[in-house]
């Protein structure tokens, strides 16, 4: 059973690109809808536009290029050090284009969240929206899940469905899913930080009644 308390929690966000989901988290934090402050934003790319979003919000930024690490494990250890030095207790991936291995996941057990543009376990990996269109599904969506070393495979915290229309392109479907991502990611973070949940197998079970508000 998780029992993270708001006064103890601090969020670290990992990004690689434009940071639109980072902005959703920043906005929610500013409106006190997350349950904890964003302590630091870390990018593996110095040119990530999301760094400007963080700086504009007065959040510390760190650039940690993966190309300077000798291997994946060394990079994960460097990430862990940066986050621990800043007291981070919950890590949120927001377009972070790197797989995190056992070293990182074991440093933050059940404390790493990711958002993915499909209804997992359907369409993991890159270009999930294009995968959905190729398979002809009528419903796709967004998923917030805990991160494990396996790709897009962790227990699911929150999902919301998005209809797929006959005239959809990858771009139009992506845009509608992104609107949902911006809404459910802060909500998932709030629920996780509120505590009172547990993981049974692959299921995340919430004790509070608001978990009945299924997306």
Residues with a catalytic annotation lie at 116
Please tell me the distance from the alpha carbon of residue 12 to that of residue 23, in angstroms, as a whole number.
13
Q: Tell me the β-bridge partners of 60.
A: 40
């Amino acid at each position: 059973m998780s029992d993270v308390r708001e006064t103890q929690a601090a969020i670290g966000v990992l990004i690689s690109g434009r940071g639109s989901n980072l902005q959703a988290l920043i906005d929610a934090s500013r409106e006190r809808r997350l349950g904890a402050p964003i302590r630091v934003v870390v990018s593996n790319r110095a040119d990530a536009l999301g760094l400007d979003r963080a700086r504009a919000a007065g959040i510390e930024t760190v650039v940690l290029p993966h190309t300077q690490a000798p291997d994946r494990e060394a990079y994960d250890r460097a990430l862990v050090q940066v986050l621990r030095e800043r007291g981070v207790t919950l890590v949120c991936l927001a377009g972070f284009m790197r797989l995190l291995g056992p070293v990182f996941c074991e440093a933050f057990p059940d404390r790493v969240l990711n958002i993915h543009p499909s209804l997992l376990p359907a369409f993991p990996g890159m270009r999930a929206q294009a995968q959905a269109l190729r398979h002809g599904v009528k419903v796709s969506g967004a998923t917030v899940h805990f991160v494990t070393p396996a790709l897009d495979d962790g227990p699911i915290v929150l999902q919301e469905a998005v209809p797929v229309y006959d005239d959809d392109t990858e771009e139009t479907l992506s845009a509608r899913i992104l609107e949902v991502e911006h809404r459910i990611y802060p909500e998932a973070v709030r629920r996780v930080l509120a505590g009172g949940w547990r993981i049974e197998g692959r299921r995340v079970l919430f004790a509070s009644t608001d978990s009945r508000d299924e997306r």
